[in-house]
A and B are shown apart, each in its own frame.
Chain A
Amino acid sequence: MPGREEGRRNLSEAAPRRVITAVAMSGILVMVFILLFLMKEGMPILRDASITELAAGRLWYPVSSPPLFGMMPLIAGSMAVTLVSSVLAIPFGVALALFLTEICPKRISGFFKITLEILGFLPSVVLGFIGMTVIAPYLQVRLELLSGLNLMNASMLLGVMILPTVATLSEESLHAVPQSQRDASYALGATRCETMFKVVLPGASRGIAQAAILGVMRSLGETMVVLMASGGAALLPESVFDPVRPLTSAVAAEMGETSVGSGHYHALFFMGCILLLFTLVLNVLVIKIESRREAN
Chain B
Amino acid sequence: MKKAGCEGGSKALLASQPSLGEPRDMSGLRPGYAVWRKITDSLSTFLLWAAMAFVAAVLCSIIAFLAAKGGGTLSWEFVTEPPRNGMTEGGIVTPIVGTLQLILVSMCFAFPVGVTTAVYFNEYARGGALKKTLRLAMRSLASIPSVVLGLFGLAFFCAFLRFGTSLLSAGLTLGCMVLPTIVTASETALANVPQDYRDAARALGATEWQTIYGVVLPTAFPGIITGGILSVGRVAGETAPIMFTGAVYFAPGFARNLFDSVMALPYHVYVLATAGTNIERTTPLQYGTILVLLAVVLGISITGMAARSRLRKDVL
Contact = CB atoms under 8 A, between A and B. Distances in A.
A261 B37 CA distance: 66
Question: How many B residues touch the partner, as a band?
Answer: 35 or more
Contacts of B59: 115, 118-119, 122
Interface stretch (A50-58, A60-68, A190-198, A235-243): A190-198
A222 B148 CA distance: 10
A109 to B, nearest CB: 10
Interface in B240-288: 240, 243-244, 266-267, 269-270, 273-274, 286
23 contacts: A16-B213, A24-B116, A27-B113, A28-B137, A38-B151, A41-B151, A102-B48, A118-B59, A118-B298, A121-B237, A125-B269, A191-B41, A192-B45, A193-B45, A224-B266, A228-B270, A251-B147, A252-B150, A252-B243, A275-B148, A276-B145, A282-B143, A287-B136
A26 B290 CA distance: 36
B123 to A, nearest CB: 8
Contact of B145 (A114, A123, A126, A279): A279
Interface stretch (B1-9, B72-80, B88-96, B155-163): B155-163
A160 B62 CA distance: 11
A26 B148 contact: no
Dominant SS at the B interface? helix
Interface of B: 37-38, 40-41, 43-45, 47-49, 51-52, 55-56, 58-59, 62, 65-66, 112-113, 116-117, 119-121, 124, 130, 133-134, 136-141, 143-152, 154-156, 159-160, 176, 179, 183, 207-209, 212-213, 233-234, 236-240, 243-244, 266-267, 269-270, 273-274, 286, 290, 293-294, 297-298, 301-302, 305
A275 B145 contact: yes
Contacts of B116: 20, 23-24
Interface in A115-132: 115-119, 121-126, 128-130, 132
**Residue from A92, A98, A114, A115 with most neighbouring chain B CB atoms (10 Å):** A115
Query: What secondary structure prevails in chain A residues at the interface with B?
Result: helix
A95 B298 contact: no
Given A31-B141, A37-B155, A41-B155, A21 B124 contact: yes
Contacts of B160: 37
Contacts of A98: 48
